Structure 1
């Protein structure tokens, strides 16, 4: 169901709720009118100071997150000294969850660097971003390049880099004209998985989807051959990107070397406990956040005939993860529309910008207040393919 609500600020916004019956969804898609805003019109609604970047402010956020990380690490060194085994067994998961949250925040700050929104200095941005992302086994420049292409073509069926929907043909369904009626297109087309099977694949996806994307372009644009962020000849890159890809690989190798060295100095299990499991939690949050930002039955995808930058930038959903996580994740989830429209806007101004964007965008600003776990389950089950034809297409199941 799609409803217009008034939020706490008194602003009109479009709220996603996918509990409506199939005919309502069909009617929504038939009657959908693409947004006609110009990028200048959108930019002019945001105060100029929201685009101002401060290296000092950015570094302060990095320092705070590194303090959090260090304090948690130091606290974890005391866990195995506790005599009570029950407390030890409870304390380690608490450390893993909290350190994963902090690590995700650090990842997001490196992401800011890649967008050059961290400061006005490209050198500072790329230095900080390379260090932080390398420490998290992310090839900084390689991903920066592909992520820039994602922002330049968000929602484009053949040019977007990630969360590209499969088509009806790709999932092995007969053409739409074989259906008896248009409404039949909204029925159960793909065989329903048992809930336990869906849960299993969701778990695999949220834990390993991120490295699978980096290594093998999982959920990425189909280039017709193996694509990786670690190879200079990958179709993601151009010849001018060669040195950046090599530098990115070197950063990841440095971190892997440090982890191997640490495992010899301590033990493999120690490295897993202090780094490996929090790393999996970082993967978990990255996939959850980005999957929900771009995967919903009410979010359109465009083919060449209908796509433009601002339409594509609006193909994303804002949602809150709660005040604590919104703070730790530097607002990346509940201000993502603003971020996609203006990726060089620093995150600490994005909330104010979102306030003004709501006024202008009206129903084209999408906010989903569904609980996170339910939203993940819903999107995973219902966003399975789009039609083979049409300039504007929506997910179906």
Structure 2
């Protein structure tokens, strides 16, 4: 079986003139960018108006209040829906609605973690800690791992979240398993493989990342965002961060206690319908954003010699989420590139900064106009494994076997 699969792969690769990737809406643009094309961080900062770097506490609190008011309104709708089996389809629709609106809370907690919410650090920490604990996210643990994700965006070994498996990887610094994943893509076929990837990423992905470090960089081992010591890897939690992980757990523990009391006093069905169902949708949104904004069939991952902070940041992809989602989610998806370059820029300044980034640095700014649902399916079915281009120390997605016919 294995021999026949690789024979077929080599034959098709020859017939397609060794084209090893499928183009996306970016049309291969990211593959034409070299390290020398990337502007310095100072050049980018000089191009953006200084007021974009200012944090206005009252303005941030306004957006938080607006999101909370919207969520209260949605919850009131939920409280009017009967908890009966016949209403399960309506509760599914409610979970989609409530999870979509409450994703705005996640985004604002995310701004707190970056220092983009307020110059009042105590207020910022309290807001971020409470919001993320409410969403069962360990605040300081996530703050640390997310900072690593920003520092090493699309780095093949040191990156954090959505680091791909490598074909012929060395198994030490790179994530092995690329050959097996390519075979799986042929065994299942495009449709089944795509749905399997959507389920693994959107439903299981976020819990698996928090508990086992799945899709994290191989450098950090099997990490756990709730337990910073053995039997899990300690590499993601240096110095004081291990203590901060335990502090994060207090918020999670308190929230779990509230959920238990809710279930005891008002019924398990009430808790699942009004909280757990929407939380699953929030987690789906989170994975959609991180997956789509750092992955596409013609966006490479980088080895050490080709990597820099700015080059990794410029591999972030802005996408068209539309006015409604941008309104509810504070434009996190359509301003992701500037967020990775300057994560302390508040979301209410990010739209202007993004326009400047697009106009000032058009060669390296990445925007994929493909509709989100089409991009999601394209990535789920085609981003299977990468292979190293030794000449320039970068890792390019290979055409999956199921597309080579």
TM-score by length of 1: 0.85
Look up the match of 2:52: 50
Residue by residue over 1:266-305, the C-alpha shift from the partner in whole angstroms, topping out at 9 and shown as x without a partner, is 1111110010100110011111111000110222221111
Look up the match of 2:201: 205
1:111 deviates by 0.3
Question: Distance in 1 between the 2:334 and 2:17 partners?
Answer: 27
1:66 deviates by 1.2
Question: Distance in 1 between the 2:39 and 2:183 partners?
Answer: 35
Q: Which moved more, 1:47-56 or 1:216-225?
A: 216-225
RMSD over aligned CA atoms reads 2.5
Question: Distance in 2 between the 1:26 and 1:130 partners?
Answer: 41
Look up the match of 2:297: 297
- Choose the corresponding residue for 1:217, options 199, 213, 221: 213
CA separation of 1:267 and 1:31: change in aligned 2, threshold 3 A: closer
Question: Distance in 2 between the 1:239 and 1:31 partners?
Answer: 40
Look up the match of 1:228: 224
1:172 deviates by 5.0
Secondary structure at the residue paired with 2:109?
helix
Look up the match of 1:357: 357
CA separation of 1:172 and 1:41: change in aligned 2, threshold 3 A: closer
Question: Distance in 2 between the 1:223 and 1:157 partners?
Answer: 10
Question: Distance in 2 between the 1:24 and 1:155 partners?
Answer: 19
Question: Distance in 2 between the 1:223 and 1:304 partners?
Answer: 13
Structure 1 spans left out of the alignment, 5+ residues:
1-19, 175-186
Secondary structure at the residue paired with 2:387?
coil
Work out whether residues 184 and 193 of structure 2, in 8 Å CA contact, stay in contact via their aligned partners in 1.
Answer: no
CA separation of 1:224 and 1:51: change in aligned 2, threshold 3 A: closer
1:199 deviates by 0.8
TM-score by length of 2: 0.84
CA separation of 1:81 and 1:115: change in aligned 2, threshold 3 A: closer
Work out whether residues 117 and 343 of structure 1, in 8 Å CA contact, stay in contact via their aligned partners in 2.
Answer: yes
1:64 deviates by 1.2
Question: Distance in 1 between the 2:184 and 2:285 partners?
Answer: 30
Look up the match of 2:103: 104
Work out whether residues 299 and 316 of structure 1, in 8 Å CA contact, stay in contact via their aligned partners in 2.
Answer: no
Look up the match of 1:257: 257
Question: Distance in 2 between the 1:244 and 1:126 partners?
Answer: 12
Residue by residue over 1:216-265, the C-alpha shift from the partner in whole angstroms, topping out at 9 and shown as x without a partner, is 11111124743111112232101311331111011011111100111000
Look up the match of 1:16: none
Question: Distance in 1 between the 2:366 and 2:159 partners?
Answer: 20
Secondary structure at the residue paired with 1:394?
strand
Look up the match of 1:191: 186
Question: Distance in 1 between the 2:90 and 2:380 partners?
Answer: 32
Residue by residue over 1:315-370, the C-alpha shift from the partner in whole angstroms, topping out at 9 and shown as x without a partner, is 11100212101111110000000100000000110000001001122131111111
Question: Distance in 1 between the 2:17 and 2:366 partners?
Answer: 20
CA separation of 1:36 and 1:90: change in aligned 2, threshold 3 A: closer
1:133 deviates by 0.1
Look up the match of 1:74: 76
Question: Distance in 2 between the 1:21 and 1:354 partners?
Answer: 37
CA separation of 1:31 and 1:49: change in aligned 2, threshold 3 A: closer
Work out whether residues 83 and 270 of structure 2, in 8 Å CA contact, stay in contact via their aligned partners in 1.
Answer: no
Look up the match of 1:183: none
Matches within 5 A, 1:12-23: 23=19
1:188 deviates by 9.2
Work out whether residues 31 and 299 of structure 2, in 8 Å CA contact, stay in contact via their aligned partners in 1.
Answer: no
Work out whether residues 103 and 282 of structure 1, in 8 Å CA contact, stay in contact via their aligned partners in 2.
Answer: yes
Look up the match of 1:184: none
Question: Distance in 2 between the 1:333 and 1:42 partners?
Answer: 20
Runs (4+) off by over 6 Å: none
